[in-house]
Amino acid sequence: MTRIIFMGTPDYAADILRTLIDVDDIEVVAVYTQPDKPVGRKAIMTPPVVKVLAEVSHIPVFQPTKLRDTAVVDELLTIECDMIIVAAYGQILPKAILDHAPCVNLHASILPQYRGASPIQQSLLHNDTQSGVTAMWMDIGLDTGAIIKISTVDISPDEMVETLYASLTKIACELTVDVIHNWDRKTVAPQNDALATHCS
């Protein structure tokens, strides 16, 4: 049984989490997601979809405002795990957490292209013909870690954000399970920083 701490916030992350929950030899032992936020004109406090899914699945949920806070880090370090999976979490992991267990990020671009927060939109804005999801070992940089594996999808001329998002989410789910099952047998490749592009 592989014990996983999962970190993520939007639908993309929720679909990956749902996939992991359904795999027999993977146990998600804790979920980290962003704090609840006010939504709509009435500013109703609304939880991230990842939190809702975790609670329904009886997985402990943590929502630190700042993951870097000493108390938050100390608490996480008490959780035994084999790997930390990160998917659009929205906070940078401090070195103490990176050192706690192998940390893998599922980034929705073909790295080193489109490091940052809006890679899907950038792919469409630049009329790319291909996009993908990169599984990478996390380091102290922003989307700069060594690449474990990339899964790709073609982008059609009339592609919309919603359809590309769905395609990337599907391959991200498959890629995550593959990496967890085979991470010790994967060869990694450092990113070529000279080819890096960034998006906010």
* DSSP letters spanning 124-193: HHTT-SEEEEEEEE--SSSS-SPEEEEEEEE--TT--HHHHHHHHHHHHHHHHHHHHHHGGG---B---G
**What does each C-alpha distance from 101 to 79, 94, 163 come to in angstroms?**
10, 12, 34
Cα separation values, 1 from 32, 35, 44, Å: 20, 29, 39
Q: Domain of 36: which CATH number?
A: 3.40.50.170
For tokens 């009329």, the residue is: 127
- What pLDDT, on the 0 to 100 scale, is given for residue 200? 77
What is the chain's mean pLDDT, rounded? Answer: 95
Residue 186 pLDDT grade (very low, low, confident, very high; cuts 50, 70, 90)? low
pLDDT over 90 for what percent of the chain?
93
Would you call 29 exposed, middle or buried from its count of C-beta atoms within 10 A (0-12, 13-18, 19+)? middle
Q: Within this chain, do residues 118 and 48 fall inside the same structural domain, yes or no?
A: no
Are 106 and 85 contacting, i.e. CB atoms less than 8 angstroms apart?
A: yes
Residues 85 and 9 in one domain: yes
Looking at 101, 117, 134, which one is the last position of a domain? 101
177 and 143 housed in the same domain:
yes
pLDDT band at 199 (very low <50, low <70, confident <90, very high): confident
pLDDT at residue 104 tops 70: yes
Range of the domain at 49: 1-101
Last residue of a domain, one of 78, 101, 124: 101
Q: What is the pLDDT of residues 38-69, one digit of tens each?
A: 999 999 999 999 999 999 999 999 999 999 99
pLDDT tens string 132-170: 999 999 999 989 999 999 999 999 999 999 999 999 999
pLDDT of 180 over the 70 cut: yes
160 and 140 together in one domain:
yes
Residues 66 and 14 in one domain: yes
Cα–Cα distance between 184 and 160 in angstroms, integer?
Answer: 36
Statement to judge: residues 178 and 125 lie in one domain: yes
Residue whose C-alpha is closest to residue 103's, from 144, 131, 133, 74: 144
Q: How many domains does the chain have?
A: 2
pLDDT of residue 14: 98
Last residue of a domain, one of 50, 76, 101: 101
Statement to judge: residues 111 and 199 lie in one domain:
yes
